[in-house]
Structure 1
Amino acid sequence: MTAANGPEISWFSALCDDDYEFLGVPDPALKSSWEHCRNIVLTAEKGGFDNILLPSGYQLGIDTQMFAGAIAALTHRIRLLMAIRVGETWPPQLARQIATLDQILATESVDGSGHKRSRLTVNIISSDMPGEVLASKPRYARTVEVMNILKSLLNGEALDHQGEFYQLKLQPPAVKTVSGKCPPLYFGGLSEDAREAAAEAADVYLMWPDTMDKVKDIVADMTARAAKRGRTLRFGYRVHVVVRETEAEARAAADRLLVKLDAATGDAIRAKSLDSQSAGVARQAELREQASDGYVEDNLWTGIGRARSGCGAALVGDPDQIVAKLEAYRQVGMDAFILSGYPHAAEADLFSRHVLPRIKHGPLVI
């Protein structure tokens, strides 16, 4: 597994109605729709990003897999990191869907060999579904089963899986990915059960913003857990970003995001998420409590978490500061970054002009 081109730099398309000019204030022009989310992806591809996360939500926004199939035909270089919620789709059918989308996305290899190059990666999400409450341990056990089923089928292997949640004996699906292998599986979670699931079956372990010492601790812990299973993990960092020509301008832009937010609205936004009680969300709340003037350490601003569940902090600074911060994360083990900013298309353009040309980067190869 290599990352010879430097870290993978990804952006985020707001399929789950998560786009604002002012946090907590819905804007019809930024609401999740085919046109709006398509424009974010095309802006990210034009700007030079390597990958783009297509999130998934049951209660908000548009369908991830349908969007991925449609946007595949309009893009030429950027990868898609398609989010899949475990339990929503029967795993063998999901394997066929992934293989089909992988073929739609395939492009000619840049080395002139004539071989097709895959552009699909998959973000596995373990969460309850509406109307379902499953305890943490069995929920993550189900997630591991699905990841293993997908790997067997998409690696072209016959499947004989006798698990707690699925009992399947199947031949490989007739439709295969262009590589003949399962696309890389990105997966995150901070709880004990989530960490064990990642060590068991994920390829890339994703983490939300945290202090540098805590990031080091998580990398060391997950490396050790994977090693006990004879495996290795790559690491990704999901964080928002606000970059401007000067630090003062960046801080002012960050503060502007919150000028119309009241505490009750922020509480309501966080509470409606299906993962609002997770260990990862709890840690983001701790960071906000520890922050001085909103900053928990240099250039890491927690104010953004006042208006959203999940990833709740942003890198804020001038281009030099953002490049230095990303490099610091690289030094402690990060191989991939999934970035976002409000509004998403405008911030993608700013990042692509101010920061991307200064970083050697490329798709993560696993």
Structure 2
Amino acid sequence: MSQDNIKFAYWVPNVSGGLVVSKIEQRTSWDIDYNRKLAQIAEKAGFEYALSQIRFTAGYGAENQHESVTISHALLAATEKLKVIAAILPGPWSPVLAAKQLATIDQFTNGRVAVNIVSGWFKGEFRAIGEPWLDHDERYRRSEEFIQALKGIWTQDNFSFHGDFYRFHDYTLKPKPLQQPHPEIFQGGSSRAARDMASRVSDWYFTNGNTVEGIKAQVDDIRAKAAINGHSVKVGVNAFVIARETEAEARAVLQEIIAKADPEAVNGFGSEAKNAGASSPEGEGNWAKSTFEDLVQYNDGFKTNLIGTPKQIAERIVALKAVGVDLVLSGFLHFQEEVEYFGRKVLPLVRELEREAVATKAVA
């Protein structure tokens, strides 16, 4: 188990409809005032990161969306310590635009911006905005070049790069970001191409929710590949958190979310997502084995099973840490009140269990 404390991030609800595709009441709003207050609550609660979402078109319960880089900057301006990860989609963004935007924000916020490179899963969105839809592994090849270009622009003067997707000739960006060597680079995906890309170029790898055993297999795989490449990568896992005073209360909330799911939206999302993953050479990827119930939460967050009492959830988080997870990326039903509750009830128990684990190891 790592000596470092496990870190916590939350999904920024900058997209309407919350984090579940359900008609259950969600006391969560996508507007900026709600999100500013939420960022302040999360920072006080002990969250280190927030992850903004990128969507360009409506669908699957998300009728309205605020653009990710803009809202990330707004949340950074409202906080003092929180780091905000802006989701960026190669295609609509070029590496030079992303590098310039994020370097400026990094300068303005004392080094608190990061980036999540999203390779793309929503073919209809690309079609709607006139962007070419590449084959599965080509999307990851483009993302890898995007990251290589970001790193080069941020760390070198007279940067030159000759890839299949991007080319630069003696380009110098000034000012560069404050963070050294550069802002943290996150990516997601569950396919072989996604894991291999992370093992070469990314600082962080996000995986969908899964069992402890399933996550361990992914962590072991990606760390072994990274070691061969002389690279190191940290791992974050998605989880939808339902923390209540009793397990029965928490399970009842889960059942109500699923019972009130929007079947048309869930099935539509599942079809798009699974088609994207099925086009990978191994026929897998995000959501390849997801059931209808799993897809009610966009990123298989129910599978991680952070559902129950604060003590149960804390124990499960420490079990994730024991198999190599460095960060929990969390979604909630009612974000402001539940993030506050998590910080007050769950996080102190996690830290206590981490201290006990370190002490036990020292004695042994």
TM-score (norm 1): 0.83
Q: Would you say the 8 A contact 2:18–2:26 is kept in 1?
A: no
**2:48 corresponds to which residue?**
50
Corresponding letter in the other structure for 1:282: W
Corresponding letter in the other structure for 1:136: H
Residue 23 (structure 1) shift: 4.5
Q: Would you say the 8 A contact 2:236–2:326 is kept in 1?
A: yes
**1:323 corresponds to which residue?**
314
**1:309 corresponds to which residue?**
298
Q: Would you say the 8 A contact 2:6–2:326 is kept in 1?
A: yes
Unaligned 5+ segments in structure 2 are 59-64, 278-283, 355-364
The whole-number CA distance in structure 2 between the counterparts of 1:46 and 1:220 is 33
The whole-number CA distance in structure 1 between the counterparts of 2:295 and 2:159 is 45
Give % identity.
Answer: 25
Corresponding letter in the other structure for 2:330: L
**1:12 corresponds to which residue?**
11
SS of the residue aligned with 2:287? helix
Residue 254 (structure 1) shift: 1.9
**2:100 corresponds to which residue?**
96
The whole-number CA distance in structure 2 between the counterparts of 1:27 and 1:250 is 15
Residue 234 (structure 1) shift: 1.2
What pairs with 1:216-235 in structure 2 (closer than 5 Å)? 216-235=216-235
Corresponding letter in the other structure for 2:107: Q
**2:281 corresponds to which residue?**
none
Of residues 77-86 and 141-150 in structure 1, the stretch that sits farther from structure 2 once superposed is 77-86
**1:256 corresponds to which residue?**
256
Cα RMSD of the aligned pairs, angstroms, is 2.5
**1:281 corresponds to which residue?**
286
The whole-number CA distance in structure 1 between the counterparts of 2:217 and 2:96 is 36
Residue 233 (structure 1) shift: 1.4
The whole-number CA distance in structure 2 between the counterparts of 1:253 and 1:52 is 24
Corresponding letter in the other structure for 2:197: A
Residue 82 (structure 1) shift: 1.4
The whole-number CA distance in structure 1 between the counterparts of 2:222 and 2:351 is 26
The whole-number CA distance in structure 2 between the counterparts of 1:248 and 1:329 is 23
Residue 277 (structure 1) shift: 3.2
The whole-number CA distance in structure 1 between the counterparts of 2:320 and 2:170 is 42
The whole-number CA distance in structure 2 between the counterparts of 1:237 and 1:59 is 26
Residue 14 (structure 1) shift: 0.9
Residue 322 (structure 1) shift: 0.6
Q: Would you say the 8 A contact 1:156–1:181 is kept in 2?
A: no
Unaligned 5+ segments in structure 1 are 107-117, 290-302
**1:80 corresponds to which residue?**
84
Shift of the 68–5 alpha-carbon distance from structure 1 to 2, 3 Å rule, reads same
The whole-number CA distance in structure 2 between the counterparts of 1:53 and 1:120 is 10
SS of the residue aligned with 2:319? helix
1:41 equivalenced with 2:34 (yes/no): no
Corresponding letter in the other structure for 1:277: A
**1:111 corresponds to which residue?**
none
Q: Would you say the 8 A contact 2:159–2:171 is kept in 1?
A: yes
2:118 pairs with one of 116, 119, 125: 125
TM-score (norm 2): 0.83
Count residues in correspondence: 331
**Partner deviation per Cα, 1:317-360 (whole Å, 9 max, x = no partner):** 11111111011111110111111111222221221121112233
What pairs with 1:1-366 in structure 2 (closer than 5 Å)? 5-19=4-18, 23-25=21-23, 30-60=28-58, 61-106=65-110, 118-127=111-120, 130-131=126-127, 132-261=132-261, 263-271=263-271, 277-278=276-277, 279-285=284-290, 288=291, 303=293, 305-313=294-302, 314-360=305-351
SS of the residue aligned with 2:210? coil
Residue 79 (structure 1) shift: 1.1
**1:114 corresponds to which residue?**
none
SS of the residue aligned with 1:282? coil
Residue 282 (structure 1) shift: 2.9
